[in-house]
Structure 1
Amino acid sequence: MSLFFRPAEWLPHRACWLAFPSHEDLWGELLPQVRFEFAALCRAIADPDPVTGQCRGEQLKILVLDETGKATAHSYLSDLNPQFYQLTFGDIWLRDTAPVGLINEAGERRLLCLPFNGWGKKYQLAGDSDLAIRLALLMGIPYGSVPLFLEGGAIEVDGEGTCLTTRQCLLNPNRNPYLSSAEVEARLKPALGVSKILWIESGLVNDHTDGHIDTLVRFVAPATVVCMLAESPEDPNCDVLRTIYEQLQTLTDAKGRSLEVIPVPSPGRVTSQKGEILPASYVNFYIANTTVVVPTYGVEADAKAVEAIAKLFPSRRTIGLPARTILEGGGAFHCITQQEL
């Protein structure tokens, strides 16, 4: 049997799955602005031609709760020709609750449904824990699981045998309290089709995902990663980002290559409406077929970070879009997307 593996995100996608922001009890007065930011992201992923209107990017597959939600979503996205699917879901974080796509060398597809416990039992929302399996059944693609609690945002792969993750998340007592790093590796490697796992210690301040790697380090090419560095000692993540940057320079991938480590600025201190530090990250971008969509936060470093990331993807159009309101929920663009292979 051919090995199924998780390919790099820059390879072609059939579609992008998202969930239309719908829960007033979760978002409150922020919901209209969240929908505005969501729609802008969808437009960048679909990438309509400004002259013909024909979408050059990815097919959008949007979850909605009911007919009312479908009508509202349609009012935002109708010109992008999305496909709507009525399913119960807890919130918009499909990177963590939707199935993870795998392929083999023959191009056959499988789905990996990750056991989900609400980010360490912090946010257990109705419709999230079994969403991956329900989506796999809807998609009609064979699926399997892995005996580990983790989320899609906790793993970052190069498609050539290497996976990045954090100890803070996968070895957290709120997820896998009785497993060592070796035991986690023994389960995760065959599930993702990787041969080497690189462990980063911990993540951003106030990250309720307990250090998801997709806010810290991303592969942008074979043996090449991007991370953030603080531009001010007052950045709440100054020390942890420096530690990550220095550790990455000591690591080799599954093929024995030293990593090329490319730093971009950190957003610095970004706070919620209540004054709490938020886990803002520029590397929480989504690599779509024709675009790279980078979250921005209305801070000084936005333009510099988008420009730096654009240089890493010369064959795509890099777009910086506001994600400040979505971030109030704990994440940004990568967190609310999941590619279909």
Structure 2
Amino acid sequence: MSYRQPAEWMPHSAVWIGFPSDESLWLEDLEPAQREVIAFAKAVYAEGAGEKVFLVAAHEEAAQKARQLIGEAAEVICHNFGDIWLRDSGPIFIANEQEKAVALFRFNGWGNKYDLEGDQTIGKALAADTGLSILEKDWVLEGGSIDNDGHGLVVTTEECLLNPNRNPDLSREDIALRLKNDLGFDQILWLKKGLLNDHTDGHVDNLARFVGFKHLVIPIAADESDPNRDIYEEATRSAVDLGIKVTRLPSPGKITLDEEIVPASYMNFYIGNAVVVVPLYDAKNDKAIIKALAPLFPDRQIIGLPAHHILTGGGSFHCISQQWPA
């Protein structure tokens, strides 16, 4: 029986969350980023919600720090990795009516941009921890490059999945077939581009997220200075043309770091069993996004948490996590 990747809002049994561990990567942002990750992990942990939190540290020194900060809210495990973006370097869970398994795709540092020791092996180490069957795949795919509605519809971007720095020998048709065979998707919404200056080459989890069956959320520009205004509009048109319901959500607008525009996005939220945790950036729409998400998740608490220091590494809460379906 074929497997399919469950949707993120379906029940979880656990979640992995990467813990910033390497001072040479994070520099002065290491401890502030650690505190932001701990706050995220504590928010996901909810007594009685049935979602166990595993904080993943790269070495024992970082693991000890994580244990001091997290208390009883998570179990800290130690596996060598390059950096915390487990959504991309870790395995992807798949399931059918009888069993779960993990799909292990190749990871090449977002198109050979970042070659960090441990990022090639962390997926296999985490997969082994699950005790499930491991299905190794012979092509590059990152978890943040796709999002699905749990019923066979997946959204992605051409900028990422068709980028020659990932799978140069695979055509669009080849990749579509592999998405169907390996993850159970039978319909693909191809968006053109992701956010400006996104080193992942346009991961869709910064742009468009499913919140229900054939129901996407996509940002609307905060103002005239929003650098992703045209990208949001083009993505919305593509989704509507395919017959998908689209709800527009506030954007944080133009966010800069050292005078460079960075891909800050409220869409990088994590959907837990009891909460939805959304990154905040001291932007004018920080309160608006929490209010806008609430009716989409009436059975969950919407929690907004600062993510400035995690963003210096290039991502946010969704990028550093990977859920285990129940």
Q: TM > 0.5 between the two?
A: yes
Query: Secondary structure, in 3 states, of the residue corresponding to 1:36?
Result: helix
TM score, norm. by length of structure 2:
0.97
TM superposition shift of 1:84: 2.1
User: Which of residues 283, 289, 292 is equivalent to 1:299?
Assistant: 283
User: Which of residues 102, 105, 112 is equivalent to 2:94?
Assistant: 102
Following superposition of structure 1 onto structure 2, how do residues 188-337 of structure 1 map, counting pairs within 5 Å?
A: 188-251=179-242, 258-272=243-257, 274-337=258-321
TM superposition shift of 1:156: 0.6
Greater percentage in strand: 2
Identity of paired residues, percent? Answer: 44
- Mapped to 2, the partners of 1:307 and 1:295 lie a distance apart of 14
TM superposition shift of 1:236: 0.8
TM superposition shift of 1:145: 2.6
Cα deviations by residue, 1:98-137 (Å, 9 ceiling, x for unpaired): 110011112x111011110000000111000121112112
User: Which of residues 145, 148, 154 is equivalent to 1:157?
Assistant: 148
Letter in 2 for 1:63: V
TM superposition shift of 1:66: 2.9
Is the Cα contact below 8 Å between 1:46 and 1:55 reproduced in 2? no
TM superposition shift of 1:69: 1.8
Q: How many residues align?
A: 325
TM superposition shift of 1:17: 0.3
Query: Secondary structure, in 3 states, of the residue corresponding to 1:197?
Result: strand
User: Which residues of structure 1 form unaligned runs of 5+?
Assistant: 48-53, 252-257
**2:34 corresponds to which residue?**
35
Letter in 2 for 1:312: L
Q: Which runs of 4+ in 1 moved over 3 A?
A: 54-57
**1:9 corresponds to which residue?**
8
TM superposition shift of 1:57: 5.3
User: Which residues of structure 2 form unaligned runs of 5+?
Assistant: none
Deviates more, 1:23-32 or 1:58-67: 58-67
Following superposition of structure 1 onto structure 2, how do residues 68-217 of structure 1 map, counting pairs within 5 Å?
A: 68-80=61-73, 82-106=74-98, 108-217=99-208
- Mapped to 1, the partners of 2:244 and 2:292 lie a distance apart of 18
Letter in 2 for 1:260: K
Cα deviations by residue, 1:213-268 (Å, 9 ceiling, x for unpaired): 111111101011101010312111111111111221111xxxxxx21100011111
**2:43 corresponds to which residue?**
44
- Mapped to 1, the partners of 2:82 and 2:285 lie a distance apart of 33
How well do the aligned residues superpose, as a CA RMSD in angstroms?
A: 1.2
User: Which of residues 52, 58, 70 is equivalent to 1:65?
Assistant: 58
Cα deviations by residue, 1:127-182 (Å, 9 ceiling, x for unpaired): 00121112112222111133321200001111101111111001101111222211
